[in-house]
Amino acid sequence: MSSLLRLPGLADVHVHLREPGGAHKETFATGTAAALAGGVTTVLAMPNTTPPVTDGASLEEAARLARAGARCDYGLFLGATHANASLPEALQRRAAGLKIYINETFGPLRVESLPAVIAHMRRWRGPGPVAVHAEGLMVPAVVALAAMTGARVHVCHVSRGAELAVIRSAKERGLPVTCEVTPHHLWLTERDLPQLGPFGHMRPPLATPADRDALWANLDVVDCVATDHAPHTRAEKLGPSPPPGVPGLETMLPLLLTALHEGRLTLERLVELTHTRPRAIFGLPAQPDTWVEVDTAAEWVVPERGWHTRADWSPFAGMRVRGRVVRTWVRGAVAYEEGYVIAPPGSGRDVRADAERPS
């Protein structure tokens, strides 16, 4: 029996590509190379760059860099500030979604004022949702604001059992709330911190084994698995104030295939979590003739180095996984094959290409 399996190209709705301002950590070219090596054919890039993407000019600058560098399809988030709630509708249509950082994390983007968050949610028209970095009690807060404003709210990187219980209850009440979980919160816990040191530092922080188990036990309310690929260099991680975040684009699918092999996930759910739901929530255009060939029987140990991401390390190093990306196809052409990225910089398309020239 062949162990080769064909999957639809993965869409990762939470990726940090660091351009402009952080090219030593990652670029559109290196980050999307990592994506293709991981079977990901669409990435949605977060706005916490330097400077951040918060208006028409900064979005166009990011779009220029993405157009030149991206090897897979991409969308660009706009970041909320206290001052930009009245983003023009043409700009809203052009963005992958609106990102609101409510809690402390990497970068200067933060909106902690309740009136400002309400204003953003009232004025956002999409087509993407309002994606929020909300932890702990801020999860029920954003659920209440979704109910109040009618905004479609997507909760990023949910990491704790109690947060997922709130989202289950919101969905049961018919509220327009969706969510994602990350591979690192599904596979790692605070017990791994002594071994990981700064390489296990991210927001939200690694949680308890009970929280991790709750994510698995309640996977039915989860809409997407997204990496929160947050590359920082080894030197930065080993420095005096390590920035939060871990890379994940090249390990997400092997980990999910391992769960498939172990019977913790069905193939149908894997495709929903990485393809169907993210595409539907963010209104992503179809990618014709785009798929991933994986070897579901290949066993390997996650290496320390040798990755396509410029970060070139992994919090999963040393873990034994089963399942390997053999080949990734984009629009009928081989984009990645057996360790080599073939798609050139500039071959990726903007998922909002239709909205690029607002009239």
The three-state secondary structure class of 178 is strand
Binding piece for ligand NCD, criterion CB under 6 A, among 238-246, 258-266, 267-275, 337-345 = 238-246
Is position 16 an interface residue for ligand NCD (rule: CB under 6 A)? Answer: yes
Kindly give the residue spans of alpha helices, DSSP state H, lying in the chain: 28-37, 56-69, 89-94, 114-123, 138-149, 161-172, 183-187, 193-196, 209-217, 234-238, 252-261, 267-271, 277-282
Binding piece for ligand NCD, criterion CB under 6 A, among 3-11, 101-109, 325-333, 334-342 = 101-109
The three-state secondary structure class of 129 is coil
Count of residues interacting with Zn ion (CB under 5 A): 4
Q: How far is the CB of 268 from ligand NCD (least distance, A)?
A: 29
Is position 105 an interface residue for ligand NCD (rule: CB under 6 A)? Answer: yes
- Pick what 48 binds: ligand NCD, Zn ion, none; C-beta below 5 to 8 Å, kind-dependent: ligand NCD
Contact 291, 9 (CB under 8 A): yes
- Pick what 161 binds: ligand NCD, Zn ion, none; C-beta below 5 to 8 Å, kind-dependent: none
Q: How far is the CB of 301 from ligand NCD (least distance, A)?
A: 25
Q: How far is the CB of 155 from Zn ion (least distance, A)?
A: 10
Angle at 331 between CA 349 and CA 265, to 5 degrees: 95
> In the chain, helix, strand, coil percent, each to 5?
35, 20, 45
Query: What mask, x for binding Zn ion by CB under 5 A, covers residues 208 to 237?
Result: --------------------x---------
Please give the DSSP secondary-structure letter assigned to residue 274: I
Q: How far apart are CA 56 and CA 85, in angstroms?
A: 13
Is position 8 an interface residue for Zn ion (rule: CB under 5 A)? Answer: yes
Q: How far apart are CA 103 and CA 110, in angstroms?
A: 7
C-alpha R_g of the chain: 19
Count of residues interacting with ligand NCD (CB under 6 A): 13
Binding piece for ligand NCD, criterion CB under 6 A, among 139-147, 163-171, 242-250, 297-305 = 242-250
Contact residue for ligand NCD among 5, 56, 106, 285 (CB under 6 A): 106
Tokens of 246: 């871990």
Contact 210, 152 (CB under 8 A): no
Q: How far is the CB of 355 from ligand NCD (least distance, A)?
A: 25
Contact 50, 23 (CB under 8 A): no
Is position 126 an interface residue for Zn ion (rule: CB under 5 A)? Answer: no
For ligand NCD, the closer CB: 149 or 182: 182
Is position 159 an interface residue for ligand NCD (rule: CB under 6 A)? Answer: no
Is position 284 an interface residue for ligand NCD (rule: CB under 6 A)? Answer: no
Q: How far is the CB of 299 from Zn ion (least distance, A)?
A: 28
Is position 48 an interface residue for ligand NCD (rule: CB under 6 A)? Answer: yes
Contact residue for ligand NCD among 211, 228, 293, 295 (CB under 6 A): 228
Contact residue for ligand NCD among 203, 237, 308, 322 (CB under 6 A): 203
Binding piece for ligand NCD, criterion CB under 6 A, among 28-36, 61-69, 214-222, 239-247 = 239-247
Contact 147, 174 (CB under 8 A): no
Tokens of 94: 């052009």
Would you state the torsion angle of the CA atoms of residues 100, 102, 104, 109, taken in this order, to the nearest 10 degrees? 30
For Zn ion, the closer CB: 71 or 110: 110
- Pick what 8 binds: ligand NCD, Zn ion, none; C-beta below 5 to 8 Å, kind-dependent: Zn ion
Exposure of 206 by Cβ count < 10 A (0-12 exposed, 13-18 middle, 19+ buried)? buried
Tokens of 178: 């969706």
The site for ligand NCD (CB under 6 A) is made up of 16, 48, 105-107, 133, 202-203, 228, 230, 243-245
Residues that bind Zn ion (CB under 5 A): 8, 105, 133, 228
